Structure 1
Amino acid sequence: MGFEEQYSKWLESHMSRRTGESRRRLKEGHGYGEKLFLEQVWWPVVGNFDDLHPEYEFVDKDGSYYYLDFAYLRIPQPTAIEVDGFATHARDMDRWEFRKDRRRQNAIVLRNWNILRFSTDDLKDDLTYCRKTIAEMLGAWYGENAEDTSKLPLRKREILRLAVRVGNNDFGIADACACLGVGDRSARQLLHEMVDEGYLESASGTARIHRYRLAGNKTSGTQFR
């Protein structure tokens, strides 16, 4: 499916689960700049909307509510992504709004979130920078590289994410089954294929593999998506 179809399904899915103020903010706050970011930056780099939440309700430690343009909820640390139009965030911002915006960012950081901000001018004039920034985010914060794994089937990408999450440890067939929601036979077949493809290697013998880890040639200088 192309961008428009996937985007519509993703947005409708979130809309159907929202009520009250959260639903209103999604309906009214998700506009031109946010869709431009998704279509011109996120979709070309990532290719899906997994783990990405629009107009995400954020509550700080004092109980104050804020709304983030996007929240990318991934292990090990969530990321807030903001799209800033010049008129909204500079020319038309009074002193209280300016203070509130800074307090909001501080609250996000103090809750151990990452944060990225894009101007709508960059979204229109410098897509190379914007796309490179998202690709670097995936590599630096989530151990991914869109170029290396974007063509892999979804289940194999999820196995790679599992392997990255466990780091220097290994994982077993049961872990893969739980991660993918499939049976032993299906998981074992996928794992064997990924060993043959050079993404994984055995961590427990060669005749019959029970434990897996990232292949040695993949753990140095290569990141996964």
Structure 2
Amino acid sequence: MPVSAKICGLSTPATLDAAVAGGASHVGFVFFAPSPRNVGLDLAAGLAARVPAQVRRVGVFVDPDDALLDAAVAAGRLESIQLHKTAPERVAAIRSRLRRDTWAAVAVKTRADLDAARSYAGAADRILYDAKTPPGAALPGGMGLRFDWALLDGFRHPLPWALSGGLDPANVAEAIARTGAPLVDVSSGVEEAPGVKDPARIGAFLGAVTRV
């Protein structure tokens, strides 16, 4: 099976177009004000209109309330909801109410952290394994951190899954070979500065995925 790729934190037409042209299966829009990748509703609507039918639009949230979810789903025409720092019960409630493909992010630093993935069985549609950020960090991801991929060795995934955290054009092929990830997710690894995506790096990342 070919590996799919999500380019997350897109905020300009040029970088969105680069993701689409490079063959991304998913494009991510961040709805979290502290993030340098945060998009407003009007910008999200404009970007969403550029996404062709074969590419899925993903909204990225940090324990959001219903008002933000409803506004973002409408503006971004979101097909998938990616939730960080959100309890399994809340993930299940969001999934039930919105009836959208729902991803639950699990922050990983040790093998024990993977156990949290099992709590989302029946609550989410997909697990996103991401690197755990330092205590007190303002952001739950997008900091270029990676975890030890060997932690996934022999782990029985409770749901379909994706790999994130510290991926870039230089290491994504190794990450896929090491983990067998069916879907990879990148944000800071294709940026020239926090929140500033580079079309050339997006193309290089997607090219590396395609060649696996």
TM range (shorter): under 0.3
User: Which structure ranks higher in relative contact order (CA pairs < 8 Å, sequence separation ≥ 6)?
Assistant: 2
Higher strand proportion, which one? 2
Larger radius of gyration: 1
Higher helix proportion, which one? 1
